[in-house]
Amino acid sequence: MTTRKANLTILIIFGTFILIRTIFPAEENDTFSSTLFNLSIEIVGGIVLYTILNLLQNINRLYLYFQTQVLLRDKEIRLSIAYLFRIKLDGKYLLVKSSRRNYFQPVGGAFKTLPGSEKIFEKLDVKSDRLIETEKGVAKNDLRVFVKGIKVIEFIEWFNSKEDRETSPWREFCEELIMTNILPWKEFRYIDYKYKGTVQTPILNLDSGDKGMFIYEIYDLIINNEQKPIFEALLATGNTENFIWANDKLIERLGHSENKKGYIHEIAKHAKWALNMKWSES
């Protein structure tokens, strides 16, 4: 029996006893019933207090708490936790072609786990998503996982602790811009960036039929004086099959051009979420 079920069982038993004794009080000389009544009040009060404390700890995500602890407690939820770069120059953002889908998106990718993460994976019965294919085969150690609803918040808390997982967004920046020769290695061997915030979606119905949630840490690249001329030259070359430069309006419309009355590019929804720092359905 889980702690939650045990608490609920105790609450029902002693709560029922309190109700009965409130309606039908014990005899004045029945010290046993009086003692049990007082003890029941303390036990029920303790459980209620514990519940209230849990609610207060999750006051900013009450609906998620209700979903994961009640509605979807036994349902596997797919979590995808990644980071995205906003790289902006002269009012336009650099977007790169996805290696898996036919759209452009901000530079970034899923966080990876580090040795030691197996402890939390075992504790929370976390299952890795083995269906994601990359150019190098099945993605390994990515934070694309399945977690039972009742364990979702605890897993998110582990991620927020930064324990036993990747914390720097450098790897995907290197893989998507330097190793692809979009940017030169020498001038970008070190980069500066600023954390802007985290975008978290609600639990969504995925195309696969699963329930899922996306979490993105958003970073702004700080372009230094050595790097700026390189980006200016890249902007001047225009769009290619590997990357594009898109302004706010084009990203908001997910690639639909108001002037040309049609889609000139397909842009991923999370590019819009990163731009606005919030989730939206469309």
Q: Does pLDDT of 230 surpass 90? A: yes
Contact 100, 133 (CB under 8 A): yes
Nearest to 97 by CA among 110, 89, 107: 107
Residues pairing with 80 in the sheet: 144, 214
C-alpha–C-alpha distance, residues 73 and 152, integer Å: 9
Residue 50, pLDDT score:
60
Percent of the chain at pLDDT > 70 equals 79
C-alpha–C-alpha distance, residues 273 and 156, integer Å: 19
Q: Of 16-25, 60-69, 110-119, 228-237, give the lowest mean pLDDT range.
A: 16-25
Q: Where are the alpha helices (DSSP H) in the chain?
A: 3-23, 31-57, 62-66, 118-123, 152-161, 170-173, 228-237, 248-252, 269-276
- Structure confidence by residue, pLDDT tens digits, 137-159: 445 789 999 999 999 999 999 99
